[in-house]
Chains A and B, each alone.
Chain A
Amino acid sequence: MRHMFKQFLTATAAAALLATSAMADEPKRGGTLVTVITSTPRVLNPAVQSGIATGFPGAQLFASPLRYDDSWTPQPYLAKSWEVSEDGLKVTLHLVENATFHDGQPITSEDVAFSVDVIKEYHPFKSMFAPVTSVDTPDAHTAVINLSKPHPALMLAMSGQLMSIIPKHIYGDGQDPKNHPRNNVDVVGSGPFKLVEFKNGEHIILERYDGFFMEGRPYLDKIVMRIMPDSSARAIALENGELMLAAFEAEPTLIQRLSKVKGLNITNKGYGGIGPIDWLAMNTTRGPLQDKRVRQAIAYAIDKNFILKAILRGTAVEAKTGIHPDSPLYDADVNNYPLDLDKAAALLDEAGFPMKDGKRFDLTLELAPFPGYKPQTEYIKQALSKVGINATIHSSADFPSWAKMMGTLDFDMSLDSVYNWGDPVIGVNRTYMSDNIGKGVWSNTQGYANARVDELLQMAGTENDPEKRKALYKEFQEIVADEVPIYFLNAVPMHTIYSDKVGNPPMGIWGTSSPIDMTYLKD
């Protein structure tokens, strides 16, 4: 380790000397990237498990038909080209011909059809492949996905960790793919790296797959993913060079501190795909919160700038809607409820909650069991007291207790953090559709029902024309902003921190949840 640190120092010095020519650096082969994940993934097979813990190793082990750059443009990956039929009901994938699984077997359209079947049946995000009726395999390298209705979300659903192509000859043996023994050991993948060792609580070691179909890639020989749950330990390891790259760091103080460390680089690029947003959820089915004016008053009473500047220390980008600010579908022009206590008071009076002895009504405010939510929650309590709303903070023992409460609409208000997962159809609809009320954590936990919103989301989900689609989502965002079932606060300040030694860190919209086959180590 010390030796490595010396290398790292020389690399830093060299990088400083060659600052101008560094941009033109040629990627080079070789080396071990030491990186980190914060918890042990349940399963390494992304076809049956979503989430960021599985995503990083999963996207290295398994390839998907498409990949995305940093501007939301699909790029060829396992599919060298693709086309969507005129009526939008057929999506044809032309697969690369030289791709093989880690055991040398060719990757064919049969495997694509099989993977779609498994994902459709077992993946947690049902909406990704719900309209898929069948997959035709006219030849070994052509797969035709048949749809019951146009489904533009399929493009993003075919990228990143969401559509991993898994080998039929391994997972098609009749065992339950969810609990398949090969999900964690002897994994035979299709991606740029193969599994060497997975030790629960300790590390995941991946090694370059020499038979990878993309010429010359991946550049790294090895990836060591250490499992380190403690953020202070991760920060120190980044500082002393034991770790070269860490993704998903979202602690404002830590980001601020590490941004001053020489030799480390920090970026918030690479999180638009996963699209995490912090917001204040309100239960629209009970008490004063049933009234839209009360919810608007709450939005006016909260000073979002205080949260962004003082609590999050400028590390987070503001979010005004339920679509991540990085997304091309994001509408930045919706009503943003700037701090206005008079307006808030007027709205509350109008709603029939006059001030009596300095108080209008009581509410509970849940302290969600996520790290770092306490300051925001306490601030909101205090901000609401200024307009006569007496919020009592209630904290849950752990995540399941909180999730149960949210999932059954047994709460008034709570901060929450919900992810977009690519297309709105996958991660946004679930929060607003009236047929998804109270179906567990991160369903429509607000009890929000608006027929026009249902209709807009339905239409946008089947609209293949990008401009028309954007217009539909714009109207949706405007309605939600007006009715405030949720007051949106900020994009979760996730950052990737990497040493000067790392070239081409993952910056596409899926960040580390996509292959890092272009990442390399500088001399």
Chain B
Amino acid sequence: MIKIKNLTKKFGHLTAVEDVSFEVQPGEVLGFLGPNGAGKSTTMKMITGFLAPTAGSIEVCGFDVSEKPIEAKKRIGYLPEGAPSYGEMTPVQFLEFITQVRQLSGQNKIDRNKEVIQQLHLDKVLNQSIETLSKGFKRRVGLAQAILHDPDVLILDEPTDGLDPNQKFEVRELIKSIAPDKVIIISTHILSEVDAICSRAIIIADGKVLVDDTPEGLRSKSSCDKMDDIFREITSGHIS
């Protein structure tokens, strides 16, 4: 599970994340919503140990991310924004590299590789260099990397960005299928996704948490029924 207490991040005078606190339990799929520049990615970067918080603490599976970064990182699977990966490698080589970093071995290594390749339909592009792949495939290679070691915690920054509708559907099904015993946080701009996979939604704007509720709860707070309208109402300040 993830425990975040009074998390703050400042870049010079700019406060990207301000006093954010929340907890996520196994089995929950938390949707992270907010306008561009709201602090979603910054928060995710702090949870994964890429950025150091200015103040506050983050605990992942009982390990403080600042004090025991390696232990925390072992339990996290992370898809950074834009799904960066080493372009000159092929998906096979890239997954082999991740396999070694994650210290998978023996039968488990073979099974996990086979499973993620099948789950993300990478079999046709396995020996093609990643830089020559389409955006959708690059994203799926990034997802494969994140779930390869079957982590307890999954942090996915815009996992369905750049995928076509069919691929989006498949990735959502994948997230749903692995969700029951995991902590999952996804950020997204696509509000229908929140309805489709999230059990809880946090809306942040200007670095502050505005709403922390279930998708149904969000609906009941608003006069509208469409997620897009609810989002606009909340982030433009019509609901407190």
Do A and B originate from a single complex?
Answer: no
